[in-house]
Structure 1
Amino acid sequence: MLFIQNNACNARKYVLALSLFAGSMGLGSTAAMAADASGSYQQERAACLSGQTQQDRATCLQEAGAARGEAKRGNLNDGAASYQQNAQTRCNALPPADRDACMRRMQGQGTVSGSVDGGGVYRETTTIVPAPATSPQY
């Protein structure tokens, strides 16, 4: 930014204007987060009231309200990063020979069957391992 006059008054006005602009940007993102939390809450609440969840109505409404509160505070994320971290942690618990196949399954390779509602999701990959070479027996 080029100042035509170099005096303290103009510099302070510039800093004040920049501060107000930056502050308004923060308020806008906070308002957007609150609006998004409210919209998500309305959808979750409607699902609770219509019986589309696996929880009883009171528990469902309580969970939806708690999630809205956490979203307004900015404590909820999109889940993708934590999902990836969770998958990495689960796969790291396996023996080294099985970790790579586990991560491939978690990244969507192979086949997936089952459902959470049905008790679990089964992920399967097939790895072809050639038999060890043996000398012919005569």
Structure 2
Amino acid sequence: MTRPNIIFIMSDDHASRAISAYGAGINNTPNLDRLANEGVRHDATYVTNSICTPSRAAILTGTHNHVNGVTTLSTHIDNRLPNVAKALKAGGYATAIFGKWHLGEGPAHEPTGFDEWAVVPGQGDYWDPGFHFPDGYRRVPGYATDVITDM
């Protein structure tokens, strides 16, 4: 049996109505709609801490925030915790994360379990964004959305 490819897209600050696959018709998002139609679309989910950093930590670790310790926008993840990338990698998957991390910076908080990664510090810049890569920090020319998509 062939293992499925897994692409998880997390975006901030919009409701499901912003993606046409959910039926609201506010935006036309044919590429996201195709992914939704050919894959899994979450229609009945909930969140216990609906702000950026804790949500990211809960999704990454599969635990509630009182367990993973990330309870506010200013608390950082302990990257020694088990996470979905580590589990997938152990199962033979190639793993990567590109874009907004927002779970802390530095050796104790940077992404772990990913074969490749490049994450913006904080919220990131729209133009010529800087990224933390495994081998250090550097700016990448272009518009942030295009740069992240190209990665």
TM-score category, normalised to shorter length: under 0.3
Using structure 1 for the length normalisation, give the TM-score: 0.26
Bigger proportion of residues as helix: 1
> Structure 2-normalised TM-score?
0.25
Larger Rg: 1
Bigger fraction of residues in strand: 2
